[in-house]
């Protein structure tokens, strides 16, 4: 409210909702914490839908894919827009009576679809992190929290499932502080717990929001004095909240020192300032499934999460110069946006989801892609409502929308005006960890498969497909068994391609343990002009996770400048093909240092081959090792099955990190090689009579033990299709 007058001029007079009344938020959490249900309730209470769906019934708005509804999981992030007016009632609010527009992205919780969370976080202004009131902070909660931190996304926390047996609000807040390092403090407290949960205490306003237990849709609630048994706890919580805010906010600190009264609105403004600066996390609670506490959550989104104007402007780079440019949100400025997702729609064709950072885009305008250096005309601009598409004439700064019909575009491309040549930082994605060979069943399937896989690879940056040159087999690679299963399912449903698949193969990696030098010569003389190339390289281990660095350090012209790129190409080709067992090499530094050439016989081909030979020669002397992907696994089981499941993890070469008791169950945290995790879901079901559950996420690459190295090497030689 305080920024409306100052920023009025930044908004186009044609836009319905100014930027300060716009929120771009994501709902992110661990699997089964209740993201989609929470989103569904928000859409109902904001009036976007008139009947609430449920994940179990397969009729939610944001889980619109057939595969999502069948499995009860979110696979693709879905964007939707709703509108909210805060009710002027007995509680004081920052924006009471003012209508806001909220763009929501519901993201997947399953680690196989982590790319969807990654690209959503890149374009969001704020996030609601949902936690299960029983399980607290789970492994994937940590992952999405790290992703939000990586892209500097302010967030509020919603502890869901407070109606469940074992729900513990205080424990969830404690774990946020311990496991996530969050400066998290409650702004709500639960009234009742488990089956007696009936509302929340608004700590800031010191009032209770109590729901009518006879209302099946959760629309009827009353603002009442705090129940007697919670009065003291609520006062202590308010004192702790003011103390926590005063530690970070100068205005509140001064008021505390001068003993001035701190009104709810003053405190809310301070919480908002700190939340937007990512220095504070307000924590709310409720039960989305039982329809309690969702309206206060939407109020908190409006009160505490930033508008596009409340966060630092995006930073772009001028191509070719390395100069950075601030992209300030302003409708009157030149147009600049980021394409964060591609999707093939059966009705309108290829959709490009984009976030506008400055300027405005109208139907019929031309946009420029700095990566391809090409312009394209915009024929249709769409606003997205999950699976529905609404044509609009124009979009403005801070909007999330979609374009139809653009060519030569990939996830992470900047789309802008041609005379505003700037490149925004694209989202980054993890490398695939699992691959398998696929074979079309008929000739017709073969023709369709190429197109289908190409489209799916365009949509999903963590999915790769390529042909193994040695065997001619088509290999698909992704983030896990479920990921590849969904890909095959989509091939069948969307592209009518039937394909059989081989057993999943692990994406092993190679690296080195010490520095070494290598020399490569390629000399051919067969009458007439020959071939001559000679290169020397040095290699050294790079810091784990820093990737491959190839440098030119040739001095004195021992290799002519025109042949240096050929040597580097050869080195890169050898790195991709591996030396030890044919797997891609990671985390090495390579320097091309010396060589020689022949006035007549030298050629690019000869030097490329010399580069390949030199790298292979150096790697053989550098203590090459094989690395395997290791997963972080969290297993929750009733106590009586703990011994059997521990034994099973040990048989799978698992390293047990911790065992803790939580809400009558045992939680096992471990690191297990991905190679040992195939079929694990079936194994734990049988060992625990279906009562144990687990989740896993990629953690690191570790050295393969000698005891199984020989088997992997033999397998790699006999089945080259497994390499990636």
CA distance 286 to 302: 17
Note whether 452 and 392 are same-domain residues: no
Domain residue limits at 24:
4-304
| Phi then psi dihedrals of residue 603, to 5 deg | -150, 165
Check whether residue 267 and residue 179 sit in a common domain. yes
Cβ pair 676, 654 in contact under 8 A: yes
Assess whether 404 and 531 both reside in one domain.
Answer: no
Task: Please tell me whether residues 128 and 28 are part of one structural domain.
Answer: yes
Using an 8 Å Cβ cutoff, are 285 and 200 in contact? yes
Asked if pLDDT for residue 70 goes beyond 80, the answer is no
With H, G, I as helix, E, B as strand and everything else as coil, classify residue 73. Answer: coil
Query: Which of 503, 537, 556 is a domain's end point?
Result: 503
Q: Are 295 and 221 in contact (CB under 8 A)?
A: yes
At residue 507, the pLDDT reads: 79
One domain for residues 598 and 650: no
CATH number at residue 463: 3.30.70.870
> 498 with 439: CB under 8 angstroms?
no
d(CA 281, CA 56): 31
Q: According to the model, what pLDDT value does residue 319 have?
A: 81
Shared domain for 14 and 91, answered yes or no, is yes
Confidence of residue 435 (pLDDT cuts 50, 70, 90): confident
Per-residue tokens: 96:
């009471």
Q: Give the integer Cα–Cα distance in Å for 337 and 414.
A: 6
How would residue 78 be classed by pLDDT, with cut points 50, 70 and 90? low
Q: Are residues 295 and 337 in the same domain?
A: no
Q: Look at residues 703, 626, 674 and name the one whose alpha carbon lies nearest to residue 505.
A: 674
In angstroms, the CA 16 to CA 100 distance is: 10
Same domain, 610 and 489: no
Q: 1-10 burial, b if ≥16 CB within 10 A, otherwise e? A: eeeeeebeeb
- What backbone phi and psi angles, to 5 degrees, belong to 42? -60, -45
Tell which residue, 141, 143, 146, 168, has the closest CA to residue 157.
141
Domain assignment of residue 715, yes or no: no
- Does one domain contain both 521 and 615? yes
Q: Which residue has the tokens 């040095």?
A: 538
Range scoring the smallest mean pLDDT among 62-66, 117-121, 159-163, 571-575: 62-66
Please report, for the domain that includes residue 573, its CATH number: 3.30.230.10
* pLDDT, mean of residues 385-405: 83
Is 50 exceeded by the pLDDT of residue 478?
yes
pLDDT of residue 186: 96
Asked, for residue 603, whether it belongs to a domain, the answer is: yes
Q: What is the DSSP string of 359-418?
A: S-EETT-EEEETTTTEEEE---EEEEETTEEEEESEE-TT-EEEEES--S--TT-EEE-T
Residue 217 lies in a domain: yes
pLDDT, position 494: 80
Q: Report how far apart, in Å, the C-alpha atoms of 539 and of each of 84, 499, 568, 593, 615 are.
A: 59, 42, 13, 10, 8
- The tens digit of pLDDT for each residue in 443-470 reads 777 778 888 888 888 878 888 887 766 5
Top-ranked range on mean pLDDT: pick from 202-216, 312-326, 405-419? 202-216
Say yes or no to pLDDT of 663 above 90.
no
For residues 379-398, give the mean pLDDT. 82
Question: What's the confidence (pLDDT) of residue 75?
Answer: 57
SS (H, E, C) 269-301: HHHHHHHHCCCCEEEEECECCCCECHHHHHHHH
Residue where one domain finishes, among candidates 424, 444, 478: 424
Q: What is the pLDDT of residue 464?
A: 85
In a domain, 721, yes or no: no
Does 362 map to a domain? yes
**DSSP line for 320-337:** TT--EEEE---TTS--EE
Residue 304 contacts residue 245 (beta carbons within 8 Å): no
- What's the token pair of residue 709? 């190295």
Cβ-contact 356, 327 below 8 angstroms: no
Strand pairing category for 509-511 and 505-506: unpaired
Q: Quick check: is 366 in a domain?
A: yes
- The whole-angstrom separation of Cα 199 and Cα 215 is 13
Cα–Cα distance list, 474 to 501, 502, 559 (Å): 10, 11, 38
In this predicted structure, what is the pLDDT of residue 335?
A: 93
Q: Which two tokens stand for residue 46?
A: 């904001």
Same structural domain, 699 and 594: no
Distance of CA 174 to the CA centre of its chain: 25
Domain-embedded: residue 449? yes
**What is the pairing mode between strands 549-552 and 588-596?**
parallel
Please indicate, yes or no, whether residues 299 and 394 belong to a single structural domain of this protein: no
Average pLDDT over residues 1-5: 39
508 assigned to some structural domain? no
Tens of pLDDT, residue by residue over 704-718, are: 988 888 877 777 666
Q: What does the block give as tokens for 478? A: 């992704």
What pLDDT band is residue 153 in, cutting at 50, 70 and 90? very high
Of 370, 484, 367, the residue nearest 426 (C-alpha): 370
Instruction: Calculate the alpha carbon distances from 615 to 16, 193, 335, 589, 596 in Å.
Output: 61, 64, 46, 11, 16
Please compute the mean of the pLDDT values over residues 171-200 and round it to a whole number: 92
Q: Assess whether pLDDT exceeds 90 at residue 340.
A: no
pLDDT at 28 over 90: no
Q: What is the pLDDT of residue 386?
A: 56
461 or 77, greater pLDDT:
461
Q: What percentage of the chain reaches a pLDDT higher than 90? A: 38
Residue 616 is encoded by which pair of tokens?
A: 């292979």
Domain with 347 in it: what CATH number?
2.40.30.10
Dump pLDDT digits (tens) for 323-332. 888 989 998 8
Question: pTM of the predicted model, to two decimals?
Answer: 0.71
pLDDT at 540 over 70: yes
For residue 508, the model assigns a pLDDT of: 87
CA dihedral for 7, 10, 13, 15, sign (positive or negative): negative
Domain count, the chain: 5
Q: What was the pLDDT predicted at 722?
A: 39
From the CA atom positions of the chain, what is the Rg in Å?
28
Cβ proximity of 125 and 311 under 8 Å: yes
Return mean pLDDT, the chain: 84
Q: Give the helix/strand (H/E) hosting 685.
A: helix 680-687
Q: In what order do the strands lie in the sheet with 199-202?
A: 188-191, 199-202, 207-211, 221-224
- From 572, 600, 623, give the residue that closes a domain: 623
Pair (592, 681) in one structural domain? no
Taking each helix axis from N to C end, the angle separating 139-150 and 169-180, rounded to the nearest 10 degrees, works out to 50
**Contact predicate 579/619, CB 8 Å:** yes
Residue 669 is part of a domain; what is its CATH number?
Answer: 3.30.70.240
Query: Over the stretch 577-597, which tens digit does the pLDDT of each residue have?
Result: 888 888 889 999 999 999 998
**Phi/psi at 618 (nearest 5 deg)?**
-70, -45
């Amino acid at each position: 409210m305080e920024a409306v007058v100052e920023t009025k001029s930044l908004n186009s007079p044609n836009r319905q909702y100014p930027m300060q009344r716009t929120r771009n938020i994501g709902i992110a959490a661990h699997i089964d914490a209740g993201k989609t249900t929470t989103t569904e309730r928000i859409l109902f209470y904001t009036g976007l839908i008139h009947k609430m769906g449920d994940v179990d019934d397969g009729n939610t708005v944001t889980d619109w894919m057939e595969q999502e509804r069948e499995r009860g999981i979110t696979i693709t992030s879905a964007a939707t827009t709703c509108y909210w007016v805060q009710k002027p009632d007995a509680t004081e609010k920052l924006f009471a009576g003012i209508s806001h527009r909220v763009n929501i992205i519901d993201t997947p919780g399953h680690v196989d679809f982590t790319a969807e969370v990654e690209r959503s976080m890149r374009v969001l202004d704020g996030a609601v992190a949902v936690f299960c009131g029983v399980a607290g902070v789970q492994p994937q909660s940590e992952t999405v929290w790290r992703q939000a931190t990586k892209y500097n996304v302010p967030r509020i926390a919603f502890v869901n499932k407070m109606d469940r047996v074992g729900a513990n609000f205080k424990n969830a807040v404690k774990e946020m502080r311990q496991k996530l390092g969050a400066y998290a403090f409650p702004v709500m407290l639960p009234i009742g717990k488990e089956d007696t949960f009936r509302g929340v205490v608004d700590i800031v306003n010191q009032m209770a929001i109590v729901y009518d237990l006879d209302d099946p849709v959760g629309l009827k609630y009353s603002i009442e004095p705090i129940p007697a048994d919670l009065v003291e706890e609520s006062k202590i919580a308010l004192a702790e909240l003011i103390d926590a805010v005063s530690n970070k906010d100068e205005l509140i600190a001064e008021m505390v020192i001068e003993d001035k009264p701190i009104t709810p609105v003053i405190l809310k403004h301070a919480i908002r300032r700190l939340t937007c600066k990512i220095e504070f996390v307000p924590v709310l609670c409720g039960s989305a499934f039982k329809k309690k506490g969702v309206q206060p959550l939407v109020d908190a989104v409006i009160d505490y999460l930033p508008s596009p104007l409340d966060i630092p402007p995006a930073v772009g780079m001028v191509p070719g110069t390395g100069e950075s440019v601030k992209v300030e949100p302003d409708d009157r400025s030149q147009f600049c946006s980021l394409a964060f997702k591609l999707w093939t729609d059966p009705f309108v064709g290829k959709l490009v989801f984009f976030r506008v950072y400055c300027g405005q885009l109208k139907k019929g305008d031309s946009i420029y892609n700095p990566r391809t250096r090409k312009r394209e005309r915009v024929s249709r601009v769409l606003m997205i409502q999950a699976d529905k598409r609404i044509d609009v004439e124009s979009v403005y700064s801070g909007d999330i929308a979609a374009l139809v019909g653009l060519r030569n575009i990939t996830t992470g491309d900047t789309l802008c005006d041609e005379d505003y040549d700037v490149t925004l930082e694209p989202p980054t994605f993890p490398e695939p960890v699992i691959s398998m060979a696929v074979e079309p069943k008929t000739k017709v399937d073969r023709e369709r498969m190429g197109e289908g896989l190409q489209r799916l690879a365009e949509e999903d940056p963590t999915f790769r497909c390529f042909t193994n040159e040695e065997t001619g087999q088509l290999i698909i690679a992704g983030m896990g068994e479920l990921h590849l299963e969904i890909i095959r399912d989509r091939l069948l449903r969307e592209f009518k391609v039937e394909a059989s698949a081989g057993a999943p193969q692990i994406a092993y990696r190679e690296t080195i343990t010490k520095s070494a030098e290598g020399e490569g010569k390629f000399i051919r003389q067969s009458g007439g002009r020959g071939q001559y190339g000679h290169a020397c390289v040095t290699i050294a281990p790079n810091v784990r996770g820093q990737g491959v660095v190839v440098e030119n350090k040739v001095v004195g012209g021992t290799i002519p400048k025109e042949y240096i790129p050929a040597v580097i190409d050869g080195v890169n080709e050898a790195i991709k093909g591996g030396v030890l067992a044919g797997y891609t090499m990671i985390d090495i530094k390579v320097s091309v240092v010396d060589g020689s050439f022949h006035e007549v016989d030298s050629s690019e081909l000869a030097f490329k081959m010399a580069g390949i030979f030199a790298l292979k020669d150096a790697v053989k002397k550098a203590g090459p090792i094989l690395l395997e992907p290791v997963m972080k696994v969290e297993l929750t089981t009733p106590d009586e099955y703990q011994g059997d499941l521990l034994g099973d993890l040990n048989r799978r070469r698992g390293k047990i990190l911790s065992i803790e008791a939580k809400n009558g169950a045992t939680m096992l945290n471990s690191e297990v090689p991905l190679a040992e995790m195939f079929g694990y879901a079936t194994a734990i079901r049988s060992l625990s009579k279906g009562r144990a559950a687990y989740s896993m996420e990629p953690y690191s690459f570790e050295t393969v033990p000698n005891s199984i190295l020989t088997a992997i090497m033999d397998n790699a030689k006999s089945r080259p299709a497994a390499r990636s």
